[in-house]
Amino acid sequence: MNAIRALILSESRLLLRDPISWIAAVVLPAAILLIFGSIFAPHRPDPALGGLRWIDTFAPSLVVIATATLAIQTLPIRLATYREKGILRRLSTTPARPASLLVAQLVIYSATAILGLVLLVVAGKVAFDIPLPANPIGYVAAFGLGLAALLTIGLLVAAVAPSAGVATGIAVPLFFVVMLLGGVYLPRVLLPDVLLTIGEFSPPGVQGLQDAWLGAAPKLLPLGILAAITVVGGAISSRVFRWQ
């Protein structure tokens, strides 16, 4: 436990010294909301959106930036770099198992993603009076499962990538796909139906995030799929993960 605590502290410090990834995760979602919200008049309810303003439906997508940056980019690239530099191997010669490092990273990235979410919710509330997630329990479930599934995919990338270069090569396009399906580049109402459907089930399950924010219960099937991805993917990555 002592080792995990020390690793969490140490990895947090390293993350803070590498501002690009935490700024993208913590600050960017709220910043994009503020920028877009002040460019495009956010205050007109749209009958096509069931009387909601477009910004009400756009905000839930923005949390995808935080989770995808950390889970799909930062996590696998950092782990692959650690393996390439022999840091994981070095850890495996000490009483701290390298798995402790993995646990520490998952804890830190989850916490950072939550920070990004909180900032986004607060910015939306203060600047545009976007209501707080109306179904908090549903929202926590959707967010937690979505984040877990994304982190699992990041771990799988880290597990199979033989080098930091390959990890980056996989992570970058994957990141764009997740962002596109999550409705970050283009509000989801503008996405073709097929992408909309895929985005409902693919991590982080942005439809569920949107439903729970707006007050509905997230659908169970997509949540179940996210949970299944986490369990199966976690099992696979723990089998194939190479420490050296």
Which residue from 244, 67, 73, 64 is spatially nearest to 155, judged by alpha carbons?
73
6 interacts with other proteins by CB under 8 A: yes
Residue type, 225: I
By beta-carbon proximity to other proteins, the closer residue of 30 and 70 is: 70
Give kind and range of the element (H or E) at residue 36.
Answer: helix 28-39
Tell me: does residue 99 bind other proteins (CB under 8 A).
Answer: no
- Residue 86, amino acid: G
10 binds other proteins (CB under 8 A): yes
Show contacts with other proteins in window 30-89 (CB under 8 A): 82, 85-87, 89
Site map 79..98 versus other proteins, x via CB under 8 A? ---x--xxx-xx-xxxxx--
Nearer of residues 98 and 182 to other proteins, judged by Cβ: 98
The answer to whether residue 217 forms part of the interface with other proteins (CB under 8 A) is no
164 binds other proteins (CB under 8 A): no
Beta bridge partners of residue 52, listed in sequence order: 46
Compute the distance between CA of residue 44 and CA of residue 162 in angstroms, rounded to an integer: 50
Instruction: Tell me whether residue 76 or residue 138 sits nearer to other proteins (CB atom).
Output: 76
The answer to whether residues 196 and 188 touch, using CB atoms and an 8 Å cutoff, is yes
Phi, psi of 182 (to 5 degrees): -80, -5
Residues facing residue 46 across a β-bridge: 52
> Which residues contact other proteins by CB under 8 A?
2-3, 5-7, 10, 13-14, 17-18, 82, 85-87, 89-90, 92-96, 244
